[in-house]
Amino acid sequence: MGLEFFKKYLFLQFFQEISVLMYEAGLEAGIELDSASSMTNYNEYMRTFYKQSAKVPNSPYPNLKQAPSPNVLDITPITPPFPDKNGYLVQFGPMPFASDAIRVGGGTTLHWLGTTPRMLPNDFRLTEKYGIEINQPDSKGKAPINWPIDYETLRPYYEMAEFEIGVSGDVSKQEYPIDESTEEYYGNYVFPMEEIPQSYMDQKIIDGLSGMSVQLNFQKIPLLMVPSPQGRNSVPNPKYGKTKIIKAEPTHAGYKLALDGSEKEEYKALGSVWNPYMGERCEGNASCVPICPVQAKYNALKTLKKALYKVNENDNLKRNPHIEIQAQSVVYKLSVDQENHDRISKIHIRKYASREKTAFVEEAVDTSDSIVILAANAFENPKILLNSKYTVNENGQKVQKTVANRSDQVGRNLMDHMVMLTWGLFPEPVYPYRGPGSTTNISSFRDGSFRSEFSAWISPLDNWGWSWPTISPSSDVAEFLNDGLFGAELKEALTHRLSRQVLFHFEIEQLPNPNNRVTINDQYMDVLGIPRPVIHYELTDYEKRAMEQAKLASDQMFEKLGIEDFTTYNATDPNTFLYNNVRYSYNGAGHIVGTHRMGSNPEDSVTDSYCKAWDHPNLYIVGAGNMTTLGTSNPTLTLSAFTIRSVESILNDLQTQLKN
C-alpha cells in the first residue's frame, strides 16, 4: 500500500522527467484497472468468496504457488524444536504468529476492516513517558523505544492520509483517554466525511455502560465509547470544503508536502475502481473482512488508478505513459555496488507466466541511477533484504553482509496486536450484522500509567455475532440439529440466539522484541526457489498480564450489561497459553509490523524517519515494518502517513540525481 501512495505523489512532481517501474508479485488480472477488467476480476473475487466454506480474510483471493500468502487456516500447534511448516510461514514459535496477509494487486487493503484511528502522542515516546525499554539482540542490555519522530511532526501527514483514504468520522468525539495529555490531538480539523452511524447493537451497549468505570490494577478507569473513524465512504462533510491535492512545494530545506485546497470541486467520495458512482456510500454489508462488495471501503487500487490514469481536456481518462507495472514478477534479492557508495545496483526478479505453471524467467534490472523502493509487507521486505547478501573486506578478512542490516535489526521486532475475544448473549435482541464490521471502540485502555506494567489495548465492539470465535451461524445450526431441532423449532432457536450474540474484542499492544523475528533458511523454499519467511515468535509477561486485565474488564462489562458469558479458551487451540493458572487464547489482528524499524541511530534501526535505509543512498524501505512501536491503533493510517512523508526525501534525492 505504501508504494501506491509513493507513486501518485512522485508523478505529480516530475511527470515529464522521470519514469517509474513497479513490480507486482500477484496476478496480472489484479492490476488491470480499466473499468471492464477490474470489474470482471473483482466479481471473480466475490464468486470465490461465496463458494468458500471458511470466510477468512484471504478466502476471496488467489493463493498463488509462485507468490504464496500466509493464511490463518494454516496455523497449527507448534511442538518445539520442530516447526509448523503447514503454510507459507515456517513457524518455530514457541507461539504461533496468528495473522495473515495477501499478495495480490492492492494487497491486504482488499481485506482490511477499514478502521483508521491515529496513534496517540504517548505511543511515540513509551520510554520517555513510562520508562519502557526493550532487550537488545545478543544480550547487549536494554534500549529505549521512542520513535525518531513525534506525533506533532506526523500530524499533517495524518491529514493527508485521511484525505487520500477518505476517512469518515467525527473529530469532536475522538476522546483522548487520559487527562494529563495537553496536546491538541486533532486541532481545528474535520474528517473528509461524516461519521458512519453507530449500530443499534452499539447503542444498546453504550446505554448499558453509561457512566461505568472498570476496576483494574487498583485503578478505576472510566469507559469511553468512541465512534470509530473509518476508511469507508459516508456523506461528504460540508465543513471539509473543496477536494484537495497533496502538493509538493520547494523550500530552502527541500521539498515539503501540504494539502492544497484550491481545487474547484467539492469533496466527493471515491467509489469503486470500475465505476465511481458505485460504492459512494457504505451499504452495511458487514463483510468488510474479507471483501466489500461495492468497494465503499478504501483499497490501494483506488490510489493506483489515480496514478495510472489522468483526466484529459475532453474529460476522458488518459493512461499515464511514465509508469509501467509488471505483474507476476517476484522481486527476491538486491545487489550492492561497493565501488559506488554501496548503492543498490540491481534488483533480481523471477517472472512466472501463469498461476498454473511454476517455470520462471530470471531477470536482473540495473538500478544504479535509480531510486529503489521496497514496499512489500513486513514479512516480504525483510525476506528480500536478508536474501540480498554481499561480501566486504574488513581488516583483511572477507565478511558476508546483508542489505540494510548494519544494525542487525532487519527482520527483528515482529509485532501484531494479540486479539482476545469474549462473547455472550445479550438479554434482549441487538441484531448484529447491521452495518460495517465495527462502528464503536472502547478507547479507555489505549493509554495510562498502567503501561509501565502491562500493555495498552483498544476494544472494538464487533458487529459479526460469534462468527469469529465459533464460526457462527454454522456452528449454531449444527448444535441445534444435534439437539434434534428442525422446522419451526430450529428457526425459533436460531432467531433467539443469533439476534442476541455480542462479541467484544481486545487488541492488545505488543512491545518490540528482538527475538520475535523473520529470518530465512535455505531448507525452506517456495516453488520459485525463493526462501520462505521463517518466524520466531513469543509472548512476554507484559502482554500476558494485559490479557489477564482485559478479561477482568470484560467480566465487569458483561455483568453490568447482563450478558450471559459463553467465552471458552481450549487447550487444543494452536494459540493458547496458561497465565497464573488461567487459560487464554489469542488471534491475530492482521497488523504485521516492526521488521525494519525506523530510528535516529543507524546502530539500532534500519531506516531513518523518512524510511530511507541508513546503509544505501538509493534505497527506501516503506510499510508497516518501519513502525518502532505498535500502539493500539490499526496501523494502516499511520503507515500511510509516514509513507507520504517519505516522499519529501525521495523528491529531494530525485532532484539531486536529475541535477547531476
* Residue 561 or residue 252, greater confidence: 561
Q: CA–CA separation, 588 vs 611, rounded Å? A: 26
Q: CA–CA separation, 33 vs 45, rounded Å? A: 15
Q: What is the pLDDT of residue 176?
A: 87
Q: What is the pLDDT of residue 13?
A: 46
Q: Taking residues 352-358, what's their average pLDDT?
A: 95
Residues 569-589 pLDDT 10s: 999 999 999 999 999 999 999
Q: What does the radius of gyration of the chain's CA atoms come to, in whole angstroms? A: 24
Instruction: Average the pLDDT over each of 15-19, 38-42, 248-252, 408-412 and give the range with the smallest value.
Output: 15-19
Beta-carbon contacts of residue 246 (< 8 Å; ≥ 6 apart): 9, 12, 160, 163, 164, 257, 258, 259, 260, 644
CB 458 within 8 Å of CB 633: yes
Which residues constitute the domain of residue 325?
1-160+298-412+530-538+598-660
Q: CA–CA separation, 145 vs 434, rounded Å? A: 40
CB 437 within 8 Å of CB 574: no
Q: CA–CA separation, 61 vs 44, rounded Å? A: 9
Q: Taking residues 497-520, what's their average pLDDT?
A: 98
Residues 269-326 pLDDT 10s: 999 999 999 999 999 999 999 999 999 999 999 999 999 987 665 567 788 889 999 9
Instruction: Enter the C-alpha cell of residue 133.
Output: 525499554
The answer to whether residue 470 sits within a structural domain is: no
The answer to whether residue 609 sits within a structural domain is: yes
Name the region of 580 (left: φ>0; alpha: ψ -120 to 50; beta: rest).
left
Q: CA–CA separation, 99 vs 638, rounded Å? A: 19
Strand pairing of 517-519 and 534-537? antiparallel
Judged by DSSP in three states, 621 sits in strand
Average pLDDT, the chain: 94
The answer to whether residue 47 sits within a structural domain is: yes
Q: What is the pLDDT of residue 313?
A: 57
The answer to whether residue 279 sits within a structural domain is: no
- Residue 207 CB: number of other CB atoms within 10 A? 10
CB 638 within 8 Å of CB 150: no
Residues recorded for the chain = 660
Q: What is the CATH number of the domain that holds 68?
A: 3.50.50.60
Q: What is the pLDDT of residue 378?
A: 98
DSSP structure class, residue 400: E
The answer to whether residue 437 sits within a structural domain is: no
Q: Taking residues 77-95, what's their average pLDDT?
A: 95
Q: Taking residues 139-157, what's their average pLDDT?
A: 91
On the question of pLDDT at 147 being above 60, the answer is yes
Q: Which DSSP helix (H) or strand (E) runs through 636?
A: helix 635-659
Q: Which DSSP helix (H) or strand (E) runs through 43?
A: helix 35-51
The 3-state secondary structure of 123-157 reads HHCHHHHHCCEEECHHHCCEEECCCCCCHHHHHHH
Q: Taking residues 407-427, what's their average pLDDT?
A: 98
Given CA atoms 514, 518, 522, 524 in this order, what sign does their dihedral have? Answer: positive
The pTM (predicted TM-score) of the whole model is 0.95
The answer to whether residue 492 sits within a structural domain is: no
pLDDT tier, 139 (very low <50, low <70, confident <90, very high otherwise): low
- The candidate with the shortest Cα–Cα distance to 108, out of 3, 192, 28, is 3
The answer to whether residue 513 sits within a structural domain is: no
Q: What is the pLDDT of residue 6?
A: 43
Q: What is the pLDDT of residue 310?
A: 78
Q: Taking residues 252-259, what's their average pLDDT?
A: 92
Q: What is the pLDDT of residue 19?
A: 87
Q: Taking residues 516-526, what's their average pLDDT?
A: 98
Supply the DSSP string of 277-345, one letter for each residue. TSSSS----S-TTT--TT--B--HHHHHHHHHEEE-TTS-EEE-TTEEEE-SEEEEEEEEETTTTTEEE
- What's the structural domain count of the chain? 1
Q: CA–CA separation, 638 vs 643, rounded Å? A: 8
Q: What is the pLDDT of residue 143?
A: 87
Beta-carbon contacts of residue 601 (< 8 Å; ≥ 6 apart): none
pLDDT tier, 11 (very low <50, low <70, confident <90, very high otherwise): very low
- The candidate with the shortest Cα–Cα distance to 381, out of 73, 598, 112, is 598
The answer to whether residue 510 sits within a structural domain is: no
Instruction: Enter the C-alpha cell of residue 481.
Output: 440439529
Supply the DSSP string of 154-181, one letter for each residue. HHHHHHHHHHHHT-B--GGG---S-TT-
On the question of pLDDT at 477 being above 70, the answer is yes
Q: What is the pLDDT of residue 137?
A: 78
Q: CA–CA separation, 155 vs 638, rounded Å? A: 10
pLDDT tier, 511 (very low <50, low <70, confident <90, very high otherwise): very high
Cis peptide before 290 (omega within 30 of 0): yes
Instruction: Average the pLDDT over each of 132-146, 475-489, 577-591 and give the range with the smallest value.
Output: 132-146
Q: What is the pLDDT of residue 181?
A: 67
User: Residue type for 409, please?
Assistant: Q
Q: What is the pLDDT of residue 183?
A: 66
